[in-house]
Structure 1
């Protein structure tokens, strides 16, 4: 389409707002005619995916590194801090998606309301972040399998089976993906809820602590609430502070992927209403499943327990399994955590394929990735993304734990860029809405804490990007430095490439396009049917 085709007038409160000619061949904001995905995810799918879709090794397995690295209170502080950043990012993307539930999600929002070059950079950055997280979760699942079978000759077989299973679920279609994630999420929620309750019982029941008493806060006293990073042993306070910083990356990996519910908006029934529900509930998810979960773990396992997963070790136990080994049924708990790793890899593969599809729709990736089957499945994008899952086979030669930590660092720094861009884009979105006289309160979801939430999130993302690899400066190696900071030049190279080749500009708030290619609510939302009986009322609360 030529740029002259897009000078339109939109009625707004009795007046008119000029929508400037920005949907040209370089931006492709209106792609409805070639966007062929179908809305097949139901409300229960979306709600369960939002609550537990990406609960995986970051929480269940990686929390062992967090606990051993900073102590129980240090890990709790790190998870709480990163939780606020994750929450700010989800509130921001939730509000933008409530306005525009379309394919491409926040990379497209960045291109549409900030700068097309930023959309290109964050889109490829997010694709890379998610596609590399798939082998992270596969590697984590394989580590957990060694609880039963530690024969290194079998590792490749297990990895191949997991990769094929994850790929197959995505290839079957979004409806099968939704059903699989619904089932996996039920398992994960049941397990983490059971672990928290059982942890409280173990902690409070007499006979589990020293001298036959209650365990209580014994491990907070011995060995203590904080563990130092071991970088400044002569300065205890500083070393403990560095210990907290050292686990921020691991904590962020635990939260990574929470935005999947917005990425699935273009394939969700009643997306505005369902995404609004999911975002409103995420605060409780963070508090219960992450913050309370890491708190209970810190009560049950001391940070100096030799069985906690270490970067250079070969232990296959997570802190939850360690705690349950001293109580009951550790094998069942380990199986549940392995299921979580499989589910998380499934979700991250979905995310990466949809981001790649959105980039291709708007000319920022090869057009072949925009190909869809007759049932609305972006099959080429899925197959290309699925191929990266087999990078997990690297763990056979390099050691599963080493590769796990390497992938975590690479993917999590990319996640900080994604969260930072989401919050930055929201600030532009907020300013543009205000400049054009659009009332945000008319959206299905809006936050009264904005724009302060986005300012908080963007500020911390910027800080975390800079400090995530601080440990390398005490013991410098080229490999550690690159894994910690390679994403910084890569992101800005992507931005500069599109900026220079396409000669893009930052959008003026009064010229932002809030209409082209965005379906109105009456097109996406059907009337809400109230629950009629007790079962339906329970389902409405849960889902």
Structure 2
């Protein structure tokens, strides 16, 4: 009886006495407490105090009472960073990129986007290690740029993941068709099973989300490593009964490039979709035990992941699968038979691996759906805490679950049943486009927020040595990341106006495709302009910027310097390992 009673009571409101809105949004200020406490251990401090910048600009350290539970360990954050972006974008989305642009532009685009993502994640790592606050991206945008920009970015990011939820459920059901092409088991049954699975996971709160991502990432990483080894064997002619040595013949026949400059521009959006989700490490910082130590390690893994899991695997698969292979296209966006990795296994005449890849794709889609519910619910919670969403979404139970926000994401996931509609192709196309550029806007905003934060940090008299962790690329990396984000947006507008198949389009069709490709930009500007007109918000000046509220690191510069000295004294082999892991 005690177990069920405790379980029932866990749904009651969290005890958040003393917990109020962050001062930057005009909420209730926490009273300035005692003087800064003695230096505490990271885990002890994570449960003890937080910094608050009060109305008169003074900084107080007060007991922290947040409704969210800090239950994410280092292994959770590192695996979220390592496998957060590995999914249908890599396994299936790369098919359209390869067929549209050819292998050379496929690799070039992923290298460019990979460098851009490194700039973004390093900037985010610095911000989140310093300020592990709820809402992350929208919170930074409101505090460091303009409340209107924070409102627009918050709702932009929320809509991205809200829409991804039914899309991934649909993708998982379509992937099942690899084994059940005649739909002996109705698609609706599979959809309901997947929705129940994700709902059950989210009943276990942030720990449930993290443990599922840990397991899914382990499966995805092992699979990609196995695929890389297998692709090398196939290309070298090492499969008994398979093709002889292939080398780089697909780069000569049919060639390395397709559709010229338009092909190059087209793949940017595909690469962005493949990388989306990498920024979740920043969103999860608010529920992490030791963000000051954990986040830098997680951010370093991004470089390793991009080089090995994306660039290397796509380069190897492009050596085997030519861009003009008809199997790369299908009527369905998520048809697993179009995966270049599946096609490569078929070319290599390895019968069992396509089934293994398909199973991993299903795990990947469920992983993304799980992340979508987590990211959407936490973003909506943060918007409600800032007064930018209905108050009902501020509800968090005693286990740290924002139940109303989670419920909205799961209910919206029922739109996956539109797969039975005659217009499902049109509906899902619009939904996909709405979420398409959202990640690009978020990444650009992170870089801009980092530039503004650094400027305010130095203007208010602080040095970079006082930061818990500083981006290795600094402000220049964020400038490069912001510049590349803007270029990708311009490239998307260009492709929307002049698609590779423009010769086959009527004027009406071209107008439709242009608006469809840029609908997310229209939505973002609408949010921004409406908030500006209604609230009359102002651009935040550097001297007025709140760079303290939410800090959880009362560690002196001397302690930070001691930790850095210990890191420099490590053996070279350990430095190399820690630079990757």
* TM-score greater than 0.5 by the shorter chain: yes
**Change in CA separation of 1:418 and 1:255 when aligned onto 2, cut-off 3 Å:** same
Aligned length: 513
Deviation at 1:139, TM superposition (A): 2.5
1:353 and 2:387 correspond: no
- 2:433 and 2:518 in contact (8 A); partners too: no
**Change in CA separation of 1:118 and 1:322 when aligned onto 2, cut-off 3 Å:** same
**Secondary structure in 2 matching 1:418:** helix
Pairing 1:64-463 to 2, within 5 Å after superposition: 64-151=95-182, 154-206=186-238, 213-228=244-259, 240-310=260-330, 315-317=335-337, 318-325=339-346, 326-329=349-352, 330-397=354-421, 406-463=430-487
- 2:233 and 2:239 in contact (8 A); partners too: no
| Partner Cα distance (2:241, 2:429) in 1 | 33
Name the counterpart of 1:233.
Answer: none
**Change in CA separation of 1:225 and 1:172 when aligned onto 2, cut-off 3 Å:** same
**Change in CA separation of 1:356 and 1:382 when aligned onto 2, cut-off 3 Å:** same
**Change in CA separation of 1:22 and 1:30 when aligned onto 2, cut-off 3 Å:** farther
| Partner Cα distance (1:314, 1:517) in 2 | 41
Which stretch of the first structure deviates more once superposed, 298-307 or 402-411?
A: 402-411
CA distances 1:198-232 after superposition (whole Å, capped 9, x unpaired): 1111111257899x63011111111111122xxxx
**Change in CA separation of 1:68 and 1:32 when aligned onto 2, cut-off 3 Å:** farther
**Change in CA separation of 1:296 and 1:511 when aligned onto 2, cut-off 3 Å:** same
CA RMSD of aligned residues (A): 3.4
**Change in CA separation of 1:199 and 1:470 when aligned onto 2, cut-off 3 Å:** same
CA distances 1:422-464 after superposition (whole Å, capped 9, x unpaired): 1111111111112112222332321232211111221222222
| Partner Cα distance (2:77, 2:485) in 1 | 27
Deviation at 1:164, TM superposition (A): 2.4
Which stretch of the first structure deviates more once superposed, 31-40 or 397-406?
A: 397-406
1:499 and 2:526 correspond: no
**Change in CA separation of 1:404 and 1:51 when aligned onto 2, cut-off 3 Å:** farther
Name the counterpart of 2:73.
Answer: 42
- 2:438 and 2:520 in contact (8 A); partners too: yes
**Change in CA separation of 1:518 and 1:129 when aligned onto 2, cut-off 3 Å:** same
- Gaps spanning 5+ residues in structure 2: where? 1-22, 37-51, 568-576
CA distances 1:350-373 after superposition (whole Å, capped 9, x unpaired): 111111111111111111111011
1:21 and 2:55 correspond: yes
Which stretch of the first structure deviates more once superposed, 367-376 or 458-467?
A: 458-467
Deviation at 1:105, TM superposition (A): 0.5
- Gaps spanning 5+ residues in structure 1: where? 13-17, 24-28, 229-239, 531-538
CA distances 1:121-164 after superposition (whole Å, capped 9, x unpaired): 10000000122122232232222211101235722222222222
**Change in CA separation of 1:542 and 1:159 when aligned onto 2, cut-off 3 Å:** farther
**Secondary structure in 1 matching 2:187:** helix
- 1:5 and 1:21 in contact (8 A); partners too: yes
- 2:76 and 2:211 in contact (8 A); partners too: yes
| Partner Cα distance (2:271, 2:496) in 1 | 19
| Partner Cα distance (2:434, 2:29) in 1 | 43
**Secondary structure in 1 matching 2:143:** helix
CA distances 1:245-304 after superposition (whole Å, capped 9, x unpaired): 112111110001101011001111111211111011211111111111211111121111
- 1:121 and 1:495 in contact (8 A); partners too: yes
Deviation at 1:3, TM superposition (A): 8.6
| Partner Cα distance (1:9, 1:253) in 2 | 45
**Change in CA separation of 1:208 and 1:69 when aligned onto 2, cut-off 3 Å:** farther
Which stretch of the first structure deviates more once superposed, 492-501 or 373-382?
A: 492-501
Name the counterpart of 1:535.
Answer: none
| Partner Cα distance (2:366, 2:540) in 1 | 41
Deviation at 1:409, TM superposition (A): 2.8
| Partner Cα distance (1:56, 1:193) in 2 | 14
| Partner Cα distance (1:31, 1:129) in 2 | 35
| Partner Cα distance (2:63, 2:517) in 1 | 39
Deviation at 1:30, TM superposition (A): 11
| Partner Cα distance (2:363, 2:472) in 1 | 37
| Partner Cα distance (2:317, 2:134) in 1 | 39
**Change in CA separation of 1:454 and 1:91 when aligned onto 2, cut-off 3 Å:** same
